[in-house]
Amino acid sequence: MSEAIYPDIVGMLAADRLELGSELHAAVGVFPEATALGQPVEILLLLQSRIDQPLPLAISLQPPLRDDGGNLVNFFTPRPRVSLTLPPGECGLFHLPVTPELPTPPGTGYRVRVRIEAAPPAMARQIRPSSGGPQPSLLAISPFRLAVLRDIAFQGPPQGSETLKVAFDVLAGRFPPRPDDPAPRYEPLWTSGDLQQEQARARAMSVEALSFARRLDRGAVELGLRERTRLAFGGAGMPLHPGETLFVAKLLAYVMADGLDLEPGFSLAGSHWFGRLCWLMANSPDALDDTGELLRLVYTAVVQDAAMLGFVMVAHSTGADFGDRAEQIAYAGRLIAALEGRAPLGLEHIYVPLVMAGVMVAPRVTVPGENPWHSLAQLEEARDGRIDLAGAAFGEVFDILNHLIESAQGALHALRILPGEGEAGGETRQR
């Protein structure tokens, strides 16, 4: 099976997040959004570890001292500064009660500041990329609890700040004193136990999933991946030229077919998309009856595998330096986040390494009636249209792409596959 996949719970529940170094993702919310004197609200702090070791945290809560009119206010919290050690890779919810008391007047937008300090271990290894990773397939909470959390407006810090802020209203009226004072508490949302459970389910389905993957209709998959690629990149704000769509889809189809088993250091059984397939078999088997729906559900996992494979293939062929494996994993994570609408998508995400590697595998992924010369011509047309938009900084990318296109054209000549007569889209002829 593939390496452990740590899902992004913060990304599923929050519009944005605090990224504290390379160790932590966090976001803040409040429930309820309005209260009265004597009735606490809970400041809800989403915490998501990005490392493989326990992460000590110090959390400071700073309620306001005056309202907008300069009047004194009093917000009681039992522990303004608390310590917590977040287990490796875990995501949880920290509940911090705040109670308005006299002389606090009714008002709107009372803002509480939350500051987090982390003390990461020296030898910690990063297990979640900056983007956070894919959405979780299993949570250690009930569907009802999850629905409640989705209704809370979790948010990250203001631009350029590392201090989280959240506001609530104080209504007129007063509640009687509570018999007990609410205390801070931590609620795990996703733990290493959930990871082990997911991996166990996947392992149980691996033989059946492998058989299913081998029976996929390759033609339907390739055409489906073209449409899914067009929709995914267009939906992320980067519409593709048909030539770009074609070569990205070729690489993805190669990954979903036997490509991973043909490349040293890779395997279908060890891939992210195969792991997702196993999970679907165990939890949503109906999704496998519709190729289009299956491709929608596994698409980002296929892209992740394709990016990692593409880096190795292109580097080996051209000598290009794409950084070390950790950097490549982080890049693939940003690409996935962009396709899922959680980060901006750049022009580089099309070509590096997807289109580049797509050119390399193109001879092995063809559809009936395809003219390989026409396909390459479409890509050259797409490249020419991007050059003016990309600027000089993108020159090295296009230099690598040009080298790969020339190599592909040379291979067609060596095979005596010549461009067809007449229009560019005509049949090829072999001599």
Span 72-94, pLDDT tens digits: 999 999 999 999 999 999 999 99
Rounded average pLDDT over 121-125:
87
Give pTM, 2 decimals: 0.67
CA atoms within 13 A on the CB side of 75: 28
Whether residue 35 contacts residue 86, with contact meaning beta carbons closer than 8 Å, is answered with no
Residue 259 has pLDDT above 70, yes or no: yes
Rounded average pLDDT over 9-24:
89
Residue 1 has pLDDT above 50, yes or no: no
- The mean predicted confidence, pLDDT, of the chain is 89
Paired residues of 155 in beta bridges: 28
Give me the pLDDT at residue 136, please: 67
Give me the pLDDT at residue 179, please: 74
* CA distance linking residue 121 with residue 183, whole number of Å: 28
What pLDDT band is residue 425 in, cutting at 50, 70 and 90?
very low
> Going by C-beta distance under 8 Å and a sequence separation of 6 or more, which residues neighbour residue 61?
43, 77, 79, 80, 81, 82, 96, 98, 112, 113, 114
Highest mean pLDDT among 12-21, 247-256, 392-401: 247-256
Give me the pLDDT at residue 275, please: 85
Write the CA distances from 278 to 115, 234, 255, 302, integer angstroms.
Answer: 40, 28, 16, 13
**71: exposed, middle or buried (C-beta count within 10 Å: 0-12, 13-18, 19+)?**
exposed
What pLDDT band is residue 131 in, cutting at 50, 70 and 90?
low
Q: What is the share, in percent, of the chain residues with pLDDT greater than 90? A: 64
Give me the pLDDT at residue 426, please: 42
Give me the pLDDT at residue 424, please: 42
What pLDDT band is residue 429 in, cutting at 50, 70 and 90?
very low
Give me the pLDDT at residue 422, please: 34
Give me the pLDDT at residue 140, please: 57
Cα four-point dihedral sign 408, 228, 385, 329: negative
Residue 273 has pLDDT above 80, yes or no: yes
pLDDT, greater one: 416 or 61: 61
Give me the pLDDT at residue 134, please: 63
Rounded average pLDDT over 373-392:
90
CATH 2.60.40.10 region(s) of the chain? Answer: 9-196
Tokens found for residue 25: 């993702």
**Domain 9-196 class, CATH top level:** mainly beta
Whether residue 130 contacts residue 333, with contact meaning beta carbons closer than 8 Å, is answered with yes
Rounded average pLDDT over 208-222:
90
Round the CA-based radius of gyration of the chain to a whole number and report it. Answer: 26
pLDDT, greater one: 143 or 2: 143
Cα four-point dihedral sign 68, 71, 75, 81: positive
